[in-house]
Amino acid sequence: MGTHFQSSREEISFTISTNRPFTLYEFNRRLREEMENALPHRYWIIAEISEARVHHQSGHCYLTLTDKEPGSKSTLTAQAKGTIWKRQYQEIAQYFEAQTGHKLRAGLKILFNASARFHELYGFSLEIHDVDPTYTLGDLARQRQETIARLQTEGLLELNQQKVLPEVPQRLAIISSPTAAGYQDFVAQLENNPFGYSFQLTLFEASVQGMEAVSSIKAALSKVTLQQQAFDAVVIIRGGGSQTDLLCFDHYELASAVAQMPLPVLTGIGHERDESITDLVAHTPLKTPTAVAAFLIDRLNEFEATMEGVFFQIKEAASALAVAQERRVALLTSQIQQRTNTFLHNRHYQLECQTRTLSDKPQKFLTSEQRHVMCEELRLTHAVQQVLRTKENKQHQYSQHLETCSLKKMETGQRKLTHLEHCLQMSSEQRIQKARLHFQKNQQRLLYGAKDHLQIKGHQLQLLEMDVKSHDPEIMLMRGYTLTYVNGKLLRSLDQVTPGDLLQTRLLAGTVTSKVTKTKEPDLFD
């Protein structure tokens, strides 16, 4: 115990030696000075924005910038914080959005001019002075072309266009936000169409702008797929918005999901300048929600006009056919009437001849049949009497046989029942005897086990008692150790005493009082 105390004092002495270590603030200040000397200029840097946040009170913009491994979308190779101060952020953000159509947001790759900064409390960051929008435009165009090329390679670019749109698409699955103005205009135009056409609209709610729109619309498409038999087509609509709000419709995952839908997809995203990749893979891309509604109404109107033309053609053909059939029926009626008169005349003559022939035969036939019936009646009466006598004899024999068999079976059953009772009694007695023996064995085993357990626990208690006694301070004093107190407190470090203090040293027998005249720090290098 004394050796361990001495080692701790040596370690404490080492940490407060003349070679004093830096505090964290001192080290960070030194690091800031070195960084400002090593990187004094501004530099053009390429990075991707993974997070963008504008502080609502100060107006400063705080970015999280990342760099990823080439060909990978998730493996980070570098990350840093970026700051655009309020005085520059408004000018940079307005110019960037005017040139690219996008706000500074997560997912964009930018080329920016910045200087390195290091703060003692907040660490390393990049102070951004300018952002070049032409680089971002080129990167977005490259990403768009890569997505289109990937869809083309995978055979998805024209896949949905091969789906057959029904001539009368009335059962529509709508994917939109219920509060979007474009959705309200779309529904109003379909319900108030001048032709009175009826549409069955089912809304699948989804977010149609922002980064969460991709997963939200994909989830809605999955729900429609599960109910595809209930719909004729899928309609994705939203109102107008900025170019940034529409960027989600250029996402590969969303375009791939639209292309592989089992139903034809119509889009009315609400843009006027550019066509999104989702529009490219859709069956029928239209500019606005109202344009989609007009397309559907026009399609039903065209089908109605076609059906009216077909109806007039059928009507004219039916009229001509009716006239021809009328003439044919009149001719057939005349021919049938002539043939019927001739047939009836011939049959009337034949009937008269047969009547004269048959007038003498009925009496002879009736007399012969009466004799035959009487003979058959006598024969049947004799046969029935013989059958009844035979059945009575057989019934008497069956009764005697059944009585004999019943007696034999009752005797056999009685013997089996007696045997089973004896067997059950013997089996019960044997099981009771086995249970008693088993109980006696377990009783003895428990008694022996309890005695062994009590002996083991008693031995453990004795060992614990010896261990407690070995740590008793009185025993330690008997071994030659002492305890030193200063001002009533146990002395553990030189920091507790100063020259002139009185020390009380406790021995095994008695106490020694001494006075401190000088203290000396241990020199580890002696």
Can you give 307-329 as a three-state secondary structure string? Answer: HHHHHHHHHHHHHHHHHHHHHHH
Q: What are phi and psi of 63, to 5 degrees?
A: -115, 150
Q: How many CA atoms lie within 13 A of 75 on its CB side?
A: 4
DSSP SS3 for 10: helix
DSSP SS3 for 171: strand
Say if CB 283 and CB 232 are below 8 A apart: no
Cβ-Cβ contacts under 8 Å for 291 (sequence gap 6 or more): 268
- Give the pLDDT score at 18: 46
- Give the pLDDT score at 200: 92
For the cut 70, the answer to whether the pLDDT of residue 2 exceeds it is no
Mean pLDDT (whole number) for 324-338: 86
Mean pLDDT (whole number) for 487-505: 83
- Give the pLDDT score at 5: 34
Name the pLDDT band for 13 (thresholds 50, 70, 90): very low
Please state, in angstroms and rounded to a whole number, the distance separating the CA atoms of residues 221 and 219. Answer: 5
Torsion, CA 509, CA 512, CA 518, CA 521, rounded to 10: 20
- The token pair at 73 is 């979308």
What residues are paired with 76 via a beta bridge?
A: 68
DSSP SS3 for 48: strand
Please state, in angstroms and rounded to a whole number, the distance separating the CA atoms of residues 56 and 434. Answer: 87
- Give the pLDDT score at 261: 93
Please state, in angstroms and rounded to a whole number, the distance separating the CA atoms of residues 485 and 468. Answer: 24
Please state, in angstroms and rounded to a whole number, the distance separating the CA atoms of residues 395 and 388. Answer: 11
For the cut 90, the answer to whether the pLDDT of residue 232 exceeds it is yes
State the burial class of residue 93 (Cβ atoms within 10 Å of its Cβ: 0-12, 13-18, 19+).
Answer: middle
Mean pLDDT (whole number) for 471-486: 76
Model confidence pLDDT, tens digit, residues 358-386: 766 666 777 777 788 888 888 888 888 88
Please state, in angstroms and rounded to a whole number, the distance separating the CA atoms of residues 149 and 147. Answer: 5
State the burial class of residue 130 (Cβ atoms within 10 Å of its Cβ: 0-12, 13-18, 19+).
Answer: middle
Q: What is the total residue count of the chain?
A: 526
Q: Which CATH class is domain 168-305?
A: alpha beta
Please state, in angstroms and rounded to a whole number, the distance separating the CA atoms of residues 47 and 135. Answer: 11
Cβ-Cβ contacts under 8 Å for 482 (sequence gap 6 or more): 505, 506, 507
Say if CB 218 and CB 253 are below 8 A apart: yes
Model confidence pLDDT, tens digit, residues 239-250: 655 555 567 788
For the cut 50, the answer to whether the pLDDT of residue 11 exceeds it is no
- Give the pLDDT score at 363: 67
Say if CB 67 and CB 45 are below 8 A apart: no
Q: What 8-state DSSP symbol labels residue 207?
A: -
User: How wide is the angle at C-alpha 256 spanned by C-alphas 255 and 258, nearest 5°?
Assistant: 65
User: How wide is the angle at C-alpha 338 spanned by C-alphas 336 and 339, nearest 5°?
Assistant: 65
Say if pTM beats, i.e. exceeds, 0.75. no
DSSP SS3 for 275: coil
- The token pair at 388 is 């009844």
Model confidence pLDDT, tens digit, residues 350-359: 887 777 777 6
DSSP SS3 for 187: helix
What's the mean pLDDT when you consider all of the chain? 82
- Give the pLDDT score at 234: 95
Model confidence pLDDT, tens digit, residues 27-85: 989 998 888 888 888 888 889 888 889 988 888 999 999 988 877 666 888 989 999 99
Highest mean pLDDT among 127-141, 183-197, 332-346 belongs to: 183-197
State the burial class of residue 261 (Cβ atoms within 10 Å of its Cβ: 0-12, 13-18, 19+).
Answer: buried
Same fold for the domain at 24-145 and the one at 168-305?
Answer: no
- Cα–Cα distances in angstroms (integers) from residue 188 to residues 185, 203, 292, 444, in the given order: 5, 14, 12, 91
Say if CB 500 and CB 516 are below 8 A apart: yes
Sorted by where each begins, the domain ranges of the chain are 24-145, 168-305, 483-513
- Give the pLDDT score at 244: 54
Nearest to 244 by CA among 432, 49, 407, 403: 49
- Give the pLDDT score at 273: 55
Say if CB 170 and CB 193 are below 8 A apart: no
State the burial class of residue 66 (Cβ atoms within 10 Å of its Cβ: 0-12, 13-18, 19+).
Answer: middle
Cβ-Cβ contacts under 8 Å for 323 (sequence gap 6 or more): none
Model confidence pLDDT, tens digit, residues 292-316: 999 999 999 999 888 888 888 898 8
Helix (H) or strand (E) holding 504: strand 502-506
User: How wide is the angle at C-alpha 60 spanned by C-alphas 57 and 66, nearest 5°?
Assistant: 135
CATH 2.40.50.140 fits 24-145, yes or no: yes
Which residue is it, tokens 């019936």?
373
**What proportions of the chain, in percent to the nearest 5, are helix, strand and coil?**
55, 15, 25
Model confidence pLDDT, tens digit, residues 141-194: 777 888 888 888 888 888 998 989 998 999 999 999 888 778 888 999 999 999
- Give the pLDDT score at 484: 87
Please state, in angstroms and rounded to a whole number, the distance separating the CA atoms of residues 217 and 177. Answer: 10
